């Protein structure tokens, strides 16, 4: 590659640019960034924390905020920047989610005072850090316990000025107790929260039996915002085993008969009050919720509440069934249990996550025991040397007093009592006032206790069952101390009656009118019979199709861009003969140069679609191919784009079709000769052979509507066929 560059004489010359292979660029520049996001930012580790969480909590711990007094959030944010140089706004936002005031966690890690926003509100902004105050919650004792006993690895901070832990020695499976979400590069993580007591119980069972069925002890997730989970054990078991899947949640409500209103007290964790009220108002304006007169947020000191005022005669339970279907009052939580295990992202099921946590916790406990053994051994070693002094205190004093040089005191004590340098240093540092029998007896009385402790610690360290028992006892105490009842309740999917829109729709006979200028009218049979006026149409417009159907049918619109647009008939507003109707491009969101060519209205998707192209090919596709399980609005590749489409029509049975080319050749054939294809975008088969170069099919018609006196004159036994020239008697007849 090269670029042009002006010289002093204004002449254009080429200056070379170094080339670099794209693979090399990705490897050197993009891959390190991607790995940094995955490992150091977005995916939680086995302690249930991301690096930003861990740095923040550890800073607060070092500031003495575990059991200390509240301090300004700005103070914590500033101190955290010594470990996390990503800006004060990002650090404060991380803190907000961990606070009790935000209500995002089942077991908040930060006690807060002031406005920290709410998990259930999209628009409620949290106060600036200079106004709010924080400190660590008591449960953080279980996150930092024995952290000073080398239970976890410490590394240098980004500037090398401080040391920070790579993980926290959490004494319970925090990875499952508090929810965590993160989006990395090419992967994401979304871990739901579970009840602390249930998690501890399941973990204790796994400590005894790695094949224990955890779903018996923790049947489903539990969320800080409560609500109901539509529970299917088979689906939940699949999530537990694979770490992926989804489940539905529903809001809880009560009916206030005196005020004729529904009060929503708990909503799904994945939605917000603004999203719910916004959707309600949207449906009311669209005239799809005639039962509601008003909806508002009444959240206050008494807690969360959305009030929905009902019109007289409305059944609240039937309405809620409808709202669950149409609004975020019923929402889906998608699980993706992606966890970093030794800096490697892995999607694990619930049992595997707990087993990994058990491995991690056992290592932490063993490190703590090793630390205690080391310290107690050092203490025992010193006291053993001190005990030897007990045999002859006068001798020790004499050695020290008769030593001429200070540097010789320790060597002389070592020689005099047969002790090593460390023991001699310890003895030499004892104050003169403490060189008495009482002091030495008091200090050496712990030797036997230390020996017993060391024996017990070594026994536990050498037996994994004892270590697991120790962890199990800790979990039992934590569950008893911090456990709480489930907030999210379970309702069986068999007891849930799903609302079906069609059941609440009035069904009546009507006619759909479709015009050349892409206007559409839905006119009821009653209105059509009583009307005495002519159809109001745009100038030079005309009605192409008039289709009798019912209000519970579906409409499929085929455009000139090889796309099909779908719409429920009842979603189209009723019109009158005297109105122009709805403009389809506006309703369907068509492109600027896109227009609808043909409209199909169906209730059962019976019949076949017949497409005729200018190149003489015809394609026959079952209308059922355009049916979708989900309510998709647009289908691309609705028919072939290899040649311009000339005619689109729905046929309920095989019929005779007449084709006419632009060089006056006519062909009559029955559509049974066109084989049925399974693919919507098929090119079909060649029906009419166009012998003249540049020729194309110009007109298509049903034989019965063609105006031909004797269509059989142009009929062929086999296709493709060129057809016959138009006879003189048919020359003046239109094929349209």
Domain membership of residue 387 (yes or no) is yes
Last residue of a domain, one of 571, 603, 635: 603
Residue 425 sits in the same domain as residue 312: no
How far apart, in whole angstroms, are the C-alpha atoms of residue 294 and residue 314?
Answer: 13
pLDDT computed for residue 185 by the predictor: 83
Domain membership of residue 577 (yes or no) is yes
Residue 616 sits in the same domain as residue 736: yes
Residue 586 sits in the same domain as residue 688: no
Lowest mean pLDDT among 173-177, 482-486, 492-496, 727-731: 727-731
324: CB partners within 8 A, 6+ apart: 250, 251, 330, 499
pLDDT at 462 over 50: yes
pLDDT at 386 over 90: no
CATH of the domain at 130: 3.90.199.10
pLDDT computed for residue 86 by the predictor: 82
pLDDT computed for residue 503 by the predictor: 66
pLDDT at 108 over 60: yes
Select which of 14, 30, 33, 131 is catalytic.
Answer: 131
Last residue of a domain, one of 603, 633, 667: 603
Domain membership of residue 397 (yes or no) is yes
How far apart, in whole angstroms, are the C-alpha atoms of residue 26 and residue 429?
Answer: 63
Domain membership of residue 206 (yes or no) is no
pLDDT computed for residue 2 by the predictor: 45
pLDDT at 562 over 90: yes
Domain membership of residue 261 (yes or no) is yes
User: Average pLDDT, stretch 572-584?
Assistant: 89
Q: What is the pLDDT of residues 22-34, one digit of tens each?
A: 887 777 777 787 7
Q: What is the pLDDT of residues 207-226, one digit of tens each?
A: 999 999 999 999 999 999 99
Domain membership of residue 183 (yes or no) is no
Residue 729 sits in the same domain as residue 647: yes
CATH of the domain at 274: 3.30.1360.40
* Structural domain span for residue 713: 608-622+643-736
Domain membership of residue 3 (yes or no) is no
Residue 219, φ and ψ in degrees, nearest 5: -65, -25
Band (pLDDT 50/70/90 cuts) for residue 1 is very low
User: What token pair was written down for 273?
Assistant: 């009050």
Residues making up the chain, counted from first to last = 736
Looking at the 3D structure of the chain, how many domains does it have? 5
Annotation marks residue 131 as catalytic: yes
Domain membership of residue 632 (yes or no) is no
Last residue of a domain, one of 432, 467, 482: 482
Residue 305, φ and ψ in degrees, nearest 5: -160, 130
H/E stretch holding 476 reads helix 464-482
pLDDT computed for residue 732 by the predictor: 52
3-state secondary structure 543-597: EEEEEEEECCCEEEEEECCCEEEEEEHHHCCCCCCCCCCEEHHHHHCCCCCCCEE
Closest by alpha carbon to 162, among 263, 68, 80? Answer: 80
Residue 537 sits in the same domain as residue 420: no
CATH of the domain at 676: 2.120.10.90
Residue 528 sits in the same domain as residue 468: no
Residue 262 sits in the same domain as residue 378: no
Compute the mean pLDDT over every residue in the chain, rounded to the nearest whole number: 89
Whole-model pTM: value is: 0.77
DSSP letters spanning 374-386:
HHHHHHHHHHHHH
pLDDT computed for residue 734 by the predictor: 47
Residue 712 sits in the same domain as residue 679: yes
Q: Is 428 exposed, middle or buried (0-12, 13-18, 19+ CB in 10 A)?
A: middle
User: Average pLDDT, stretch 717-736?
Assistant: 73
Band (pLDDT 50/70/90 cuts) for residue 16 is low
Q: Is beta strand 509-515 parallel, antiparallel or unpaired with respect to 71-72?
A: unpaired
Residue 534 sits in the same domain as residue 454: no
């Amino acid at each position: 590659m090269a670029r042009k560059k002006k010289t002093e004489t204004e002449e254009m010359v080429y200056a070379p640019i170094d080339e670099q292979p794209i693979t090399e660029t990705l490897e050197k520049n993009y891959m390190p960034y991607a790995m940094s996001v995955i490992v150091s930012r977005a995916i939680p580790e086995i302690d249930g924390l991301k690096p930003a969480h861990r740095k923040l909590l550890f800073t607060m711990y070092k500031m003495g905020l575990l059991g200390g007094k509240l301090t300004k959030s700005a103070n914590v944010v500033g101190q955290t920047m010594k470990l996390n140089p990503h800006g004060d706004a990002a650090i404060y936002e991380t803190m907000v989610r961990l606070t009790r005031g935000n209500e995002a966690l089942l077991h908040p890690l930060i006690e807060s005072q002031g406005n920290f926003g709410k998990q259930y509100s999209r628009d409620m902004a949290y106060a600036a850090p200079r106004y709010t105050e924080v400190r660590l919650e008591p449960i953080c004792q279980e996150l930092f316990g024995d952290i000073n006993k080398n239970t976890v690895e410490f590394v240098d901070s980004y500037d090398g000025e401080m040391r920070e832990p790579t993980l926290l020695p959490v004494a319970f499976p925090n990875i499952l107790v508090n929810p965590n979400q993160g989006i990395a590069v090419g992967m994401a993580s979304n871990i739901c929260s579970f009840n602390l007591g249930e998690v501890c119980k399941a973990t204790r069972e796994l400590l005894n039996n790695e094949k224990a069925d955890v779903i018996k002890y923790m049947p489903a997730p539990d969320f800080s915002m409560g609500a109901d989970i539509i529970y299917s054990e088979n689906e939940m078991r699949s999530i537990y085993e694979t770490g992926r899947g989804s489940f539905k949640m529903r809001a809880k409500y009560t009916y206030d008969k005196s005020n004729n209103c529904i009060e929503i007290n708990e909503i799904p964790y994945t939605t917000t009050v603004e999203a719910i009220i916004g959707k309600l108002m949207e449906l009311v304006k669209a005239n799809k919720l005639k039962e509601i007169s008003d909806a508002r947020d009444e959240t206050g000191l008494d807690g969360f509440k959305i009030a929905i005022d009902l019109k007289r005669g409305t059944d609240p339970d039937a309405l809620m069934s409808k709202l669950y279907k149409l609004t975020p009052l019923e929402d889906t939580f998608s699980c993706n249990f992606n966890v970093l295990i030794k800096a490697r992202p892995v999607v694990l099921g619930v049992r595997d996550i707990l087993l990994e946590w058990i491995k991690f916790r056992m290592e932490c406990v063993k490190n703590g025991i090793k630390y205690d053994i080391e310290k107690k051994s050092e203490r025992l070693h010193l006291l053993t040397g001190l005990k030897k002094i007990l045999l002859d205190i006068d001798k020790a004093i004499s050695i020290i007093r008769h030593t001429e040089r200070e540097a010789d005191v320790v060597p002389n004590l070592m020689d005099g009592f047969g002790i090593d340098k460390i023991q001699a240093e310890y003895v030499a540092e004892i104050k003169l006032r403490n060189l008495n029998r009482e002091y030495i007896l008091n200090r050496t009385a712990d030797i036997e206790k230390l020996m017993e402790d060391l024996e017990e610690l070594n026994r536990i360290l050498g037996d994994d069952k004892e270590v697991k028992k120790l962890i199990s006892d800790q979990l039992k105490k934590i569950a008893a101390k911090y456990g709480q009842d489930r907030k999210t309740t379970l309702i069986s999917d068999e007891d849930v009656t799903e609302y079906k829109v069609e059941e609440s729709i009035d069904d009546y006979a009507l006619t759909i009118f479709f015009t050349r200028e892409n206007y559409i009218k839905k006119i009821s049979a009653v209105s059509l019979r009583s009307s005495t006026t002519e159809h109001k149409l745009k100038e030079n417009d005309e009605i192409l199709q008039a289709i009798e159907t019912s209000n519970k049918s579906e409409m499929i619109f085929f455009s000139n861009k090889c796309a099909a647009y779908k719409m429920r008939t009842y979603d189209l507003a009723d019109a009158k003969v005297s109105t122009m109707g709805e403009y389809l491009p506006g309703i369907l969101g068509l492109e600027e140069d896109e227009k609808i060519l043909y409209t199909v209205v169906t209730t059962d998707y019976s019949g076949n679609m017949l497409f005729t192209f200018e190149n003489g090919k015809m394609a026959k596709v079952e209308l059922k191919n355009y049916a979708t399980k989900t309510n998709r609005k647009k289908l691309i590749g609705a028919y072939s784009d290899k040649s311009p489409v000339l005619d689109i029509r729905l046929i309920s049975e095989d019929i005779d079709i007449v084709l006419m080319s632009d060089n006056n050749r006519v062909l009559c054939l029955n559509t049974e000769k066109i084989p049925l294809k399974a693919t919507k975008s098929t090119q079909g088969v060649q029906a009419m052979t166009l012998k003249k170069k540049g020729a194309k099919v110009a007109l298509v018609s049903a034989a019965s509507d063609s105006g031909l006196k004797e269509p059989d004159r142009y009929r062929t036994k086999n296709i493709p066929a060129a057809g016959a020239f138009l006879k003189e008697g048919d020359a003046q007849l239109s094929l349209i």
